[in-house]
Amino acid sequence: MASLAQSLAAFHQWLGDAIAPEPVHLLSMPDLSAPARLPTGGAGLLLCNVQPKTGPLGRRNIALVEVSLLLFVAEADCLKAAALAGDLAFLLEEGRWRDGAGDSQEVGLDTRDAALAMSRQCGLPPCLAMLLHVPFARERQTVAARPVLAPPRVVSEALADLHGELVGTTAAGRRLPLAEADIAVVGQQQQVRTDHRGRFHLTGLPGGRAIKLVVGFKTARHEVIVPAHGTITVEMPIDGLMQ
């Protein structure tokens, strides 16, 4: 995409080609502290202001600017100056021009009073002038973000072993070791079975927090929350299960 300088050059050339053989002089931003150095013939195109504009939706890489240009006639001959001003006015009546990329762009014409006020501000003598507002699109300059390399975060968790004993209790106060019962850890694919003394052993449990066990004995199911390490005794009511 063309830069702002290239777009201005394309607009300048478009004007020059349209009114050839009369010259169009492109002048820079005026220095208000010094008298203006004006061309002696043809037309003058004076860069007055550059203002950023809102870009098109969904195109963050496009930056729009609106350039204010004072187009004035620099011919000393009154008849020739009037003819040249008429040609320029007719050219800009459509309000559109083809930029260097071949895209149709819109030109805004300000009021005659605004053009005369800008002429006086720039130190120009009374002359035929038009104040133009021309949009230019340019590629937004972006700087690639440097990657931020975060140090790897190592999460360590101590594992623990749990030794347990499963005891069946009755309403009469009897306590019996329960063999061949299934012990499963909720949230882990780990399941063991109690031995003939009701003992069981679980390994690789997350240390520092409690775990939930599901005990299955015959047709009964019992759930209990226990520490994830050490030695525990799990009691399970067994009324009606031992006949």
Domain count, the chain: 2
Are 48 and 8 part of one and the same domain? Answer: yes
- Residue where one domain finishes, among candidates 139, 169, 203: 139
Are 116 and 21 part of one and the same domain? Answer: yes
- According to the model, what pLDDT value does residue 57 have? 46
Using alpha carbons, list the distances in angstroms from residue 207 to 157, 216, 217, 228: 7, 24, 27, 6
Structure token pair of residue 224: 């209990």
Please name which of 139, 83, 130 lies closest in space to residue 107, comparing C-alpha atoms.
130
**Which of 107-116, 119-128, 199-208, 221-230 holds the top average pLDDT?**
221-230
Q: What is the CATH number of the domain that holds 224?
A: 2.60.40.1120
Structure token pair of residue 107: 């030109």
Q: What is the CATH number of the domain that holds 64?
A: 3.30.2000
Which domain range does residue 96 map to?
4-139
User: DSSP for 33-55?
Assistant: TS-----SSSEEEEEEEEEEEPP
pLDDT digit string (tens) for 112-157?
A: 888 888 878 777 766 788 887 887 765 555 555 566 665 655 555 5
Are 130 and 14 part of one and the same domain? Answer: yes
Are 208 and 123 part of one and the same domain? Answer: no
pLDDT digit string (tens) for 60-92?
A: 556 677 888 888 888 778 888 888 888 888 877
- According to the model, what pLDDT value does residue 32 have? 47
Are 96 and 172 part of one and the same domain? Answer: no
Are 65 and 134 part of one and the same domain? Answer: yes
Higher-confidence position of 71 and 2? 71
**Which of 8-17, 92-101, 113-122, 207-216 holds the top average pLDDT?**
207-216
Are 84 and 55 part of one and the same domain? Answer: yes
pTM exceeding the 0.75 threshold for the entire prediction: no
Higher-confidence position of 233 and 79? 233
Are 177 and 99 part of one and the same domain? Answer: no
CA-based max dimension of the chain: 127
Please name which of 162, 165, 182, 156 lies closest in space to residue 227, comparing C-alpha atoms.
162
Are 135 and 40 part of one and the same domain? Answer: yes
51 found inside a domain: yes
Higher-confidence position of 126 and 233? 233
45 found inside a domain: yes
- According to the model, what pLDDT value does residue 3 have? 67
